[in-house]
Amino acid sequence: MAANVTALAGKEELHRARQLADQVGTEIGQVILGKQPEIRLAFACLLAGGHLLIEDVPGVGKTLLARSLAGVLGLSFRRIQFTSDMLPADIVGMSIFEQATSTFRFHAGPIFSHVVLADEINRATPKAQSALLEAMEEHQVTLDGQTHALPAPFFVIATQNPLHQAGTFPLPESQLDRFLMRIGLGYPGEALERKLLKGDDRRMMLGDLRPVVDVAGLAALRTAARELFLSDALLDYVQALVRFTRQSAQFDLGLSPRGAQDLVNAARSWALIHGHPGVHPEDVKAVFAAVAGHRLRPRQGGTAALRDPARLVLESVPVP
């Protein structure tokens, strides 16, 4: 059943967006147990047109999340396992000479897909990484002077393993900034884990997922999110947050202007899928940790380094 969301900001449209988000949550929730906030963040990230970085240990369901998101949204899906011997051509594709026609023909790489799972991105060399990151930024691939547009929507979910850093190339801050959100998945709770153990193979269940929206509906939702009302009060709040990260002694590096923009965009998507006609401060707070967490560099020895820096910011800045 593909929902069709055309116009925006009307009561019915908001209601539909919220329903859709709920449907996405329930569908994926059947496969991934007890990760509703993360599922919603991932969905909001996609709606905001950004890319998602999942940082967690292997086996917590990163791939599953990516696959089920693609399945539920009716999008094509490819997985790229990053390795240290990977070349950019392995990602974007290459031109191959064809004997029959005596011409070069472009063979699209795995990146030509709606949802791309870049697994263990920190295992590849910076050269291969940058091929992916450029494609993420430009939404197109240029090879031999020819430009190939990537499908829309184009959504990259990259994963990296925070531990076992030996032989890896961690993404520098400048590259991290290109991900709209970074989330972790974490271990399931005791009860859920029991359920997980008793239940079917999660991978088998992927086939049961039904798409709840089509590409056109998704595009309409993204338009709706972009046109959500932003009050002056809210912008005051966002600026206060950004100002704090830049001025506070707790941080070496605050939020960039792009970070601030991303924060607003993510908050808009979050507001849309929660049925708010305008962005609430709570919407900003809900996405703040995911949007800002990987862009802030706490000063060594400060309290921010010890605990969750995003939370420190939120608790220090009054809501207007």
Partner 1 sequence: MGRELASPDLRESTHEWEAPGAASREAHRSPSSFGQLAWLTLLIAVAVGPHAGSVQPWVIAALCGSVIWRLGAARWGWDLPGKFLRAALTLAGSFAVVFAYRRISGLDAGSALLILMLALKLLETHSTRDRSIVILIAWFVLFAGFLREQSVASIPQLAAGVVLGTLALLQSARPAGLLSPAQAIRMTGRLLLQALPLALALFVLFPRLPGPFWALPAPGGGGLTGLSDQMSPGDITELARSDEVAFRVRFSGPSPQPAELYWRGPVLERFDGRRWRTQPDSLREGLPALRDYAPAPVAGQPVYSYEITLEPNQQRWLLPLETPLRWDVPEGRLAGTLELLSKRPLDRRMAWNGQSVATGSFRDAGPPQPVNRDLAGDANPRAVALARELRRDAGSDEDYLRRVLRMFREQQFFYTLQPPALGPQPVDDFLFRTRAGFCEHYASAFAVLARAAGLPARVVAGYQGGARNPVADYWIIRQSDAHAWTEVWLDGRWIRYDPTGAVAPERIESGLDAALPGLAGDTLPLLGGSKWFERMALSWDALNATWDRWVLAFGPDQQSALLESLGIQSPSLRDVALACAVTVSAVLIVFTLFGLRSGPARPDRVEEIWQRLCRRLARSVRPRAPHEGPAEYAAAVADLRPDLGATVRALAAHYLRLRYEQIPTVADVQRFSQMVGSFRVPPAPAPGSAAGARR
Q: Please, are residues 193 and 187 in contact by the beta-carbon 8 Å criterion?
A: yes
Closer CB to partner 1, 40 or 178, in the complex: 40
Least separation in angstroms between CB 48 and partner 1: 18
Least separation in angstroms between CB 278 and partner 1: 3
Least separation in angstroms between CB 165 and partner 1: 34
* Backbone angle region of 105, left / alpha / beta, with phi > 0 → left and psi within -120 to 50 → alpha: beta
Least separation in angstroms between CB 186 and partner 1: 23
In the complex, which residues of this chain contact partner 1 (CB under 8 A)?
6-7, 229, 231-234, 276-282, 285, 314-320
Closer CB to partner 1, 86 or 228, in the complex: 228
| Cβ burial, residue 1 (10 Å; 0-12/13-18/19+) | exposed
The tokens describing 198, both together, are 């008793």
Which residues are registered as beta bridge partners of 96? 105
Distance, CA of 13 to CA of 22 (rounded, Å): 14
Q: Please, are residues 290 and 48 in contact by the beta-carbon 8 Å criterion?
A: no
Least separation in angstroms between CB 308 and partner 1: 14
Distance, CA of 213 to CA of 171 (rounded, Å): 33
Closer CB to partner 1, 6 or 130, in the complex: 6
Closer CB to partner 1, 73 or 284, in the complex: 284
Q: Quick count: other Cβ atoms within 10 Å of Cβ 37?
A: 12
Closer CB to partner 1, 149 or 216, in the complex: 216
Least separation in angstroms between CB 54 and partner 1: 27
The tokens describing 8, both together, are 């925006």
Closer CB to partner 1, 114 or 280, in the complex: 280
Least separation in angstroms between CB 44 and partner 1: 17
Q: What does DSSP say about strands 103-108 and 93-98: parallel, antiparallel, or unpaired?
A: antiparallel
**Helices and strands, number each (H, E), in the chain:** 14, 11
Closer CB to partner 1, 168 or 223, in the complex: 223
Give CA separation, 245 vs 108, 248, 293, 302, 311, in Å: 41, 6, 11, 13, 12
